[in-house]
C-alpha cells in the first residue's frame, strides 16, 4: 500500500497568486482532484488523502501535520507560479537526496512530457511543506498564472487533465504502482475534457465533421471527447497522430 498525500496549494481566504482572471487556489484544487481520481480509478494498493477537498482555509502546519500523522509515503504539493516567466519547475528540500530526488526526476520528466511545458528545471528550496514533512516531499509549480500564454492553457480543462496525468505517470514510475487489471488494457484516444457538456458536444461535432468517430463519456467528473479505443497502443498512436494533423490536441488514456 502506497499512501500519497496530495496538497492543493492555498484555499479559502488565501487565493494564492492571481492573474488573467484565474485564482491559483482553484486551479491547484482541480489538478489535485484529477490526480486523486485517476489514481483511485486506475491503480491498486494506493491510499490518497488531500489537505483540502474544497475551498477551505488550511494552514501550512495543518497540512504537514495531517500528512505526518497519517504516515504518508509521499507528499505532493501542487502550485501555480507567478512573477513573470513560463513553464514548469519542481522543488525538493535542499540536499535531501534519494529517494526524494529520484521521485522528483520521475514526476518532473513525466509532467514536462505530457504537457509540453517549458522545462525550468528541477530545483530545491526551504519551503515549509518540504521541510516539515517526515516523508519525501515534492512541490510542483505548474505554469505562470500571470503569463497570458500559460494562463490560457490553464483555463482549458483538457490541459488540467494533462497536468494531472503527467503527475500520475511520474508517481507510477516512482513508486512502481500497479494498474488495476481490467479484462485487458484499452488505449483510449481522447481530444478534450470539459466541465460543461455543451463544450464537449461542440468539440465532438467538430471532430465528426472531420471524419472522426466520436463519443462523449462522463469520467472523473468531466465530459470526455473520445475518438477511438484500441487494444493496440500502436493503433491508438496512429489515430492520435491523424487527429493532431487535423488540428486536435490529443492524449491517450487507459
Ligand atoms: Zn502557490
Query: What's the 9 CA to ligand 1 centre distance in angstroms?
Result: 5
In the prediction, which pLDDT does 182 show? 66
In the prediction, which pLDDT does 232 show? 85
In the prediction, which pLDDT does 214 show? 94
Spell out which residues have Cβ within 5 A of ligand 1, the ion.
9, 16, 79
Superfamily of domain 2-178 in the CATH hierarchy: Zn-dependent exopeptidases (3.40.630.40)
Residues 172 and 121: beta-carbon distance below 8 Å: no
Separation between Cα atoms, residue 15 and residue 235, nearest integer Å: 43
SS3 77: strand
Which cell numbers hold the place of 222?
468531466
Query: What's the 17 CA to ligand 1 centre distance in angstroms?
Result: 6
Separation between Cα atoms, residue 162 and residue 75, nearest integer Å: 20
Query: What's the 82 CA to ligand 1 centre distance in angstroms?
Result: 8
Separation between Cα atoms, residue 8 and residue 131, nearest integer Å: 17
Local structure of residue 11 (DSSP, 8 states): B
* Residue 17: how many other CB atoms lie within 10 Å: 20
The verdict on whether omega for the bond into residue 178 sits within 30 degrees of 0, i.e. cis, is: no
Q: Decide if 198 is catalytic.
A: no
Q: In this structure, which topology does domain 183-253 adopt according to CATH?
A: Alpha-Beta Plaits (3.30.70)
Angle at 81 between CA 116 and CA 33, to 5 degrees: 75
In the prediction, which pLDDT does 220 show? 80
Separation between Cα atoms, residue 35 and residue 122, nearest integer Å: 21
Q: Which residue has the cell 516539515?
A: 132
Query: What's the 142 CA to ligand 1 centre distance in angstroms?
Result: 10
Query: What's the 80 CA to ligand 1 centre distance in angstroms?
Result: 6
Distances (CA, A) of 49 to 7, 43, 57, 145, 152: 9, 15, 16, 26, 29
Q: Which ranges of the chain have pLDDT less than 70?
A: 182-184
Where exactly are the structural domains of the chain?
Answer: 2-178, 183-253
Identified catalytic residue from 109, 141, 172, 244? 141
Amino acid at each position: 500500500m502506497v499512501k500519497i498525500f496530495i496538497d492543493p496549494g492555498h484555499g479559502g481566504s488565501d487565493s494564492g497568486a492571481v492573474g488573467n482572471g484565474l485564482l491559483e487556489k482553484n486551479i491547484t484544487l482541480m489538478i489535485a482532484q484529477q490526480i486523486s481520481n485517476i489514481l483511485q480509478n486506475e491503480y491498486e494498493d494506493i491510499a490518497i488523502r488531500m489537505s483540502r477537498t474544497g475551498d477551505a482555509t488550511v494552514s501550512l502546519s495543518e497540512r504537514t501535520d495531517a500528512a505526518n500523522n497519517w504516515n504518508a509515503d509521499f507528499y505532493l504539493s501542487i502550485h501555480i507560479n507567478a512573477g513573470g516567466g513560463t513553464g514548469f519547475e519542481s522543488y525538493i528540500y535542499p540536499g535531501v537526496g534519494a529517494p526524494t530526488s529520484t521521485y522528483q526526476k520521475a514526476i518532473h520528466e513525466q509532467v514536462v512530457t505530457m504537457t509540453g511545458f517549458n522545462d525550468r528545471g528541477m530545483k530545491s528550496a526551504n519551503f515549509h511543506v518540504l521541510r516539515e514533512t517526515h516523508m519525501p516531499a515534492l512541490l510542483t509549480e505548474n505554469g505562470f498564472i500571470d503569463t497570458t500564454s500559460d494562463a490560457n492553457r490553464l483555463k482549458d480543462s483538457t490541459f488540467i487533465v494533462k497536468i494531472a496525468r503527467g503527475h500520475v505517470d511520474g508517481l507510477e514510475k516512482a513508486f512502481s504502482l500497479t494498474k488495476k487489471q481490467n479484462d485487458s488494457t484499452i488505449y483510449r484516444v481522447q481530444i478534450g475534457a470539459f466541465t460543461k457538456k455543451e463544450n464537449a458536444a461542440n468539440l465532438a461535432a467538430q471532430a465528426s465533421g472531420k471524419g472522426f468517430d466520436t463519443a462523449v463519456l462522463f469520467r472523473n467528473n468531466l465530459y470526455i471527447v473520445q475518438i477511438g479505443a484500441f487494444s493496440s497502443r500502436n493503433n491508438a498512436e496512429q489515430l492520435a497522430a491523424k487527429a493532431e494533423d487535423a488540428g486536435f490536441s490529443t492524449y491517450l488514456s487507459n
